[in-house]
């Protein structure tokens, strides 16, 4: 596929019948140049309103984003071994995003509707278990990095024999750029949380792109947001339901919106508990609409699509439950920063959905190990790419509930 920013296709136009879309006259192709994000003028891994636009597109035009995997790795398609840790260059390379694309006619205050039209996965994917995962301390996981063979139907890894994960490709990151006011507010609230001891990824110029703006010698290295957390503009939402056929509604904070996509996933369980899904490169084609007087989006993006995308990829499942119980004297890692002396002495925390999720995950890890014979890190990675952590209820106090759902059809030639 051409990697030029704009490739004119046939002049024949098809009149769109959906919500008065304009006629799509051309395709816009963004990204794919160079061996790394730093060499690609259409790649960035930070968020700031001053990031230059990589391309422009009219509403209704098909835009194809050629995306890099979350760590900007160039894995040998013939290398399917596992390693003790990720071979990424540094944490600062996460996430290489393709764009931003200026949507012609869009103004600050509009809503941008982004419809996912087509997804072509890459040939190689990877998953890692790391200290940055959810509740890794509770399930006894070690650090590990594995590689997957991908095709249009399923993923397989020599490191997880007997497991076959169906293709459920989606972008982890769908975002517009923050405006100056939004940037100032986001930086201030995250700085306050960091000062209180909370888990935050502050601006970091190491391996930041564009380096001229966000790098150590750049114009504004202390203002460029990391892409790790999602925010009101979208970003790293990691919602596995954002598949082909879904429309995502994003706020436009600047003229042209600055649409960017990345962090492509071949498959993921709700929770992405080990810290990664099946990460991959790929090509995603979208179309856009501009809405004036659309949803307010004050707390985050909205999305809609066919209901079958909410289903698990399996004919049968096995599920466990979790509630906010803990050992006396312990404090869950995620709330240590609160430094509340009462927490350690309790065996039951009221309304703590995070603790309930930790317990549901630990129970599922125990089940996978006992039933299928995988070690705890393998089970943790299986949970990250295939197990869904879902809220069961929030009203049966004090014990709110989480259920972890394991699709059984992922196990090939094994007892289910």
* pLDDT tier, 143 (very low <50, low <70, confident <90, very high otherwise): very high
**Structure pTM?**
0.91
Mean pLDDT throughout 10-25?
A: 32
Topology (CATH level 3) of domain 27-310? Jelly Rolls (2.60.120)
pLDDT at 14 over 70: no
Question: What per-residue string of b and e applies to 175-185 under the rule 16 or more CB within 10 Å gives b?
Answer: bbbbbeebbee
pLDDT of residue 77: 67
Question: How high is the mean pLDDT of the chain?
Answer: 91
Answer yes or no: are the C-beta atoms of 174 and 250 closer than 8 Å. Answer: yes
CA distance 138 to 204: 29
- Please state, for a pLDDT cut of 90, what percent of the chain lies above it: 86
* Separation between Cα atoms, residue 288 and residue 56, nearest integer Å: 12
* Superfamily (CATH H level) for 317-410: Acetamidase/Formamidase-like domains (3.10.28.20)
Q: What is the mean pLDDT of residues 284-295?
A: 96
- Of the two residues 96 and 4, the one the predictor is more confident about is 96
Which residue spans of the chain are classified as CATH 3.10.28.20? 317-410
User: Which of these ranges, 30-44, 78-92, 386-400, has the smallest mean pLDDT?
Assistant: 78-92
Q: How confident is the model at residue 416 (pLDDT cuts 50, 70, 90)?
A: low
Residue 244 clears pLDDT 50, i.e. is over it:
yes
- In 3D space, the residue among 281, 375, 346, 358 whose CA is nearest the CA of residue 322 turns out to be 358
pLDDT of residue 18: 31
Q: Supply the pLDDT for residue 279.
A: 98
pLDDT in tens, 66-93: 999 999 998 876 776 778 888 888 999 9
56 SS3 class: strand
- pLDDT tens-digit series, residues 295-321: 999 999 999 999 999 999 999 999 999
- pLDDT score recorded for residue 76: 79
217-237 pLDDT, tens per residue?
999 999 999 999 999 999 999
Q: Give CA–CA dist 242/275, Å, rounded.
A: 18
pLDDT of residue 12 exceeding 50 = no
With H, G, I as helix, E, B as strand and everything else as coil, classify residue 46: strand
pLDDT of residue 89: 85
Give Dmax over CA atoms of the chain in angstroms.
71
Q: Is pLDDT of 100 > 90?
A: yes
Banded pLDDT at 415 (limits 50, 70, 90): low
Mean pLDDT computed over 155-163:
95
Burial class (CB in 10 A: 0-12, 13-18, 19+), 84: exposed
pLDDT surpasses 90 at 9: no
Q: What is the mean pLDDT of residues 242-253?
A: 98
In terms of Cα–Cα distance, which of 278, 264, 262, 9 is closest to 146?
278
Kindly report, as residue ranges, where domains of CATH 2.60.120.580 are found in the chain.
Answer: 27-310
pLDDT at 15 over 90: no
137 vs 371: which has the higher pLDDT: 371
364: CB partners within 8 A, 6+ apart: 320, 379, 383, 387, 404, 406
Q: What is the pLDDT of residue 86?
A: 85
Q: What residues have CB less than 8 Å from 414, skipping those under 6 apart?
A: 162, 372
- Comparing 22-31, 109-118, 161-170, which segment has the lowest mean pLDDT? 22-31
**Mean pLDDT computed over 333-352:** 93
């Amino acid at each position: 596929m051409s990697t030029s920013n704009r490739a004119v296709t046939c002049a024949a136009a098809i009149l769109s019948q959906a919500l008065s879309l304009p006629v799509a006259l051309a395709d816009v192709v963004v990204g794919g140049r160079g061996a790394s994000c730093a060499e690609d003028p259409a790649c960035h891994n930070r968020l700031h309103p001053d990031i230059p636009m990589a391309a422009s597109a009219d509403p209704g035009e098909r835009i194809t984003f050629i995306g890099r995997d979350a760590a900007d790795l160039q894995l040998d398609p013939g290398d399917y071994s596992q390693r003790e840790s990720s071979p990424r260059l540094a944490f600062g390379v996460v996430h290489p995003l393709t764009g931003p694309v200026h949507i012609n006619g869009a103004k600050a205050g509009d809503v941008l509707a982004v419809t996912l039209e087509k997804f072509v996965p890459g040939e190689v994917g990877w998953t890692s278990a790391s200290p940055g995962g959810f509740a890794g301390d509770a399930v006894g996981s070690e650090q590990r990095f594995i590689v997957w063979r991908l095709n249009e139907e399923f993923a397989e890894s020599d490191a997880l024999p007997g497991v076959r994960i169906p293709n459920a490709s989606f972008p982890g990151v769908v975002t517009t750029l923050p405006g100056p006011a939004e940037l100032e507010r986001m930086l201030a609230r995250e700085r306050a949380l960091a000062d209180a001891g909370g888990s935050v990824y502050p601006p970091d110029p190491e391996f930041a792109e564009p380096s001229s703006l966000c790098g150590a010698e750049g114009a504004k290295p202390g203002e460029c947001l990391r892409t790790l957390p999602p925010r009101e503009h979208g970003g790293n939402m990691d919602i596995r339901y954002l598949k082909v056929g879904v429309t995502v509604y994003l706020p436009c904070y600047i003229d042209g919106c600055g649409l960017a996509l990345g962090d492509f996933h071949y498959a993921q369980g709700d929770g992405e508990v080990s810290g990664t899904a099946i990460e991959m490169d790929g090509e995603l084609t979208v179309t856009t609409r501009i809405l004036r007087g659309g949803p307010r989006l004050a707390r985050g993006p909205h999305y809609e699509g066919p209901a079958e995308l909410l289903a698990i990829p399996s004919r049968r499942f096995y599920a466990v439950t979790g509630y906010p119980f803990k050992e006396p004297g312990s404090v869950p890692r995620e709330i240590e920063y609160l430094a509340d002396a009462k927490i350690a002495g309790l065996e039951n925390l009221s309304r703590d959905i995070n603790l309930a999720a930790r317990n549901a995950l630990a129970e599922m890890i125990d089940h996978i190990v006992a039933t299928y014979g995988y070690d705890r890190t393998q089970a943790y990675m299986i949970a990250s790419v295939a197990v869904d952590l879902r809220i069961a209820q929030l009203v049966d106090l004090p014990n709110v509930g989480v259920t972890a759902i394991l699709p059984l059809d992922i196990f090939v030639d094994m007892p289910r």
